[in-house]
Amino acid sequence: MTQRFRPRLGVATLTASALLCGPAQVAGAVTGEMSASSVAARTGSNAPSGFDLNNALRELEKSYDGRIGAVGIDLGTGRTVGYRAGERFPFNSMFKVFACSAVLHKARTSDPGLMDKVVRWEPAEMAGLTANSPETTEYTDTGMTPAQLCRAGITKSDGFAGNTLLKQIGGPRGLTEFFRATGDRTSRLDRPEPTLTEWKPGELRDTTTPAAAAQTFTKLTTGKTLHPRDRARLVGWLKASLTGANRIRAGLPKDWTVGDKTGTGGASNYGTANDLAIVWAPGSDAAMILSVFTNRNTDNTPHDDKVIASTATALAKALGRL
């Protein structure tokens, strides 16, 4: 990889101690340092509404016969809630929002004009990806710019677009380096599409945690990691996403504004499915970050979008927004 990201990345105010593993937990201000024991001691029952996140998600897991990992951050109050926040889950197509961010940063800091340079490919390079590449298949003859690839990768979860973005930053390893440059010591990408969706319990490759994903996503969408113009561009693509209507968006009031990126591993990968969103309630300038990951306990079982929607509702309640 020709570009090292570390020197120029800004750091958001979230602290790692505010986003820890274990059962449901609630931290106070995300800007303050808190010990692991003090965070773990606080439970979902401490939500402003009295809503118990721990019990709600535990019961949802039982009915779903699966595992749920979730984090909610209210950037207005600094309140953070979580459930299995430090357990690993596969990225699936969620990686594309991070790959796009890395390309935006590279274009801004070391490769001016990159976002508008046409990238071309041969039809054979799309082998195994045409089924989940609805936009890039239409541009095989003309190629696409990284800006167009970002739009396709985020709004339509175009698989080949995601792989082509990875090539701009040195492949999966380059994205892992980008994570490290942002201060994310947890998230990692090891393979491109479609093999990165291959997952079983205990797998470390191509994984993150609800806490790490939420923290890094917060830095990219509201912090100083990206230039303000690039940040606005990224959020615009997230708001235009077409793949998450039945996930986090479905669990929140229809008049709330949501920008999200989904990921789906399929039934043959323990029904893994996730969603990561930035959310605004009407009349509030302060966003919320919602990070939801799921998998089934039994392989060859389909995912369930309703579980993700219900988890989003539970997070909003635990944050006192519903």
Asked if pLDDT for residue 281 goes beyond 80, the answer is: yes
Torsion sign, CA atoms 275, 239, 136, 120: negative
Specify whether the CB–CB gap between 212 and 186 falls below 8 A.
yes
For tokens 């219900």, name the residue.
Answer: 310
- φ and ψ of 202, to 5 deg: 95, -10
> Is 203 among the catalytic positions?
no
Specify whether the CB–CB gap between 85 and 24 falls below 8 A.
no
Residue type, 149: L
Spatial strand order of the sheet with 257-266 comes to 25-27, 80-83, 66-74, 288-296, 272-280, 257-266
Q: According to the model, what pLDDT value does residue 48 have?
A: 64
Peptide bond into 112 cis (omega under 30): no
Asked if pLDDT for residue 258 goes beyond 60, the answer is: yes
* Helix pair angle (159-168, 171-182), 10° resolution: 70
- Please list, in sequence order, all residues whose beta carbon lies within 8 angstroms of the beta carbon of residue 62, skipping any fewer than 6 positions away: none
Q: Which of 101, 177, 193, 310 does the annotation list as catalytic?
A: 193
Mean residue pLDDT of the chain comes to 88
Specify whether the CB–CB gap between 269 and 197 falls below 8 A.
yes
Instruction: Please state the rounded mean pLDDT for residues 99-122.
Output: 98
Q: According to the model, what pLDDT value does residue 45 have?
A: 39
Asked if pLDDT for residue 16 goes beyond 90, the answer is: no
- Give dist(CA 9, CA 181) in Å, integer: 7
Q: What is the pLDDT of residues 56-67, one digit of tens each?
A: 999 999 999 999
Asked if pLDDT for residue 49 goes beyond 80, the answer is: no
Q: What is the pLDDT of residues 134-155, one digit of tens each?
A: 999 999 999 999 999 999 999 9
Share of the chain above pLDDT 70, in %: 85
Q: According to the model, what pLDDT value does residue 50 have?
A: 83
> Is 93 among the catalytic positions?
yes
Q: Which of 61, 93, 101, 135 does the annotation list as catalytic?
A: 93
pTM for the model:
0.89
| 3-state secondary structure string across the chain | CCCCCHHHCCCCCCCHHHCCCCCCEEECCCCCCCCHHHHHCCCHHHCCCCCCHHHHHHHHHHHHCEEEEEEEEECCCCCEEEECCCCCEECHHHHHHHHHHHHHHHHHHCCCCHHHCCECCCHHHHCCCHHHCCCHHHHCCCCECHHHHHHHHHHCCCHHHHHHHHHHCCHHHHHHHHHHHHCCCCCCCCCCCCHHHCCCCCCCCCEECHHHHHHHHHHHHHCCCCCHHHHHHHHHHHHCCCCCCCCHHHHCCCCCEEEEEEEEEEHHHCCEEEEEEEEECCCCCCCEEEEEEEEECCCCCCCCHHHHHHHHHHHHHHCCCC
CB-facing half-sphere around the CA of 232: CA atoms within 13 A = 3
Q: What is the pLDDT of residues 215-257, one digit of tens each?
A: 999 999 999 999 999 999 999 999 999 999 999 999 999 999 9
Token representation of residue 258: 């949501």
